[in-house]
Amino acid sequence: MSLGPTGQKTSAPLELIFSDVWGLAPLFSFNGFYYFVIFVDAYTKYIWYYPLVAKFDVYYIFHQFQILVERQFSLKVKSV
């Protein structure tokens, strides 16, 4: 069992995912990214980081992230 940063107890990967979006960066990256989103699994403490060109890309990136981790862990994301 693991405690998330807010004190929630988790007993398996993907039970609780934390996310944060950062941007508008004062300087854009070499590839033109202005925003960044991270996803953190409360149980494993794994972190996934994605650069974004626009803030509205978060929904698309989350969907891709969800497909990736659900296949990787053979579990469903329960809470974000």
Query: For 4-18, what is each residue's pLDDT tens digit?
Result: 555 678 899 999 999
Question: How sure is the predictor about 34, in pLDDT bands with cuts at 50, 70 and 90?
Answer: very high
CB-based contact 62:55 (threshold 8 Å): no
Whole-number Å distance between alpha carbons of 34 and 19: 17
Tell me which of 32 and 63 has the higher pLDDT. Answer: 63
Domain boundaries, the chain: 2-73
Ramachandran sector of residue 62 (left: φ over 0; alpha: ψ -120 to 50; beta: rest): alpha
Q: Which CATH class is domain 2-73?
A: alpha beta
Q: Interior CA angle at 19 toward 67 and 34, to 5°? A: 95
pLDDT of residue 4: 52
Whole-number Å distance between alpha carbons of 15 and 10: 6
pLDDT of residue 26: 87
Query: For 40-78, what is each residue's pLDDT tens digit?
Result: 999 999 999 999 999 999 999 999 999 999 999 999 999
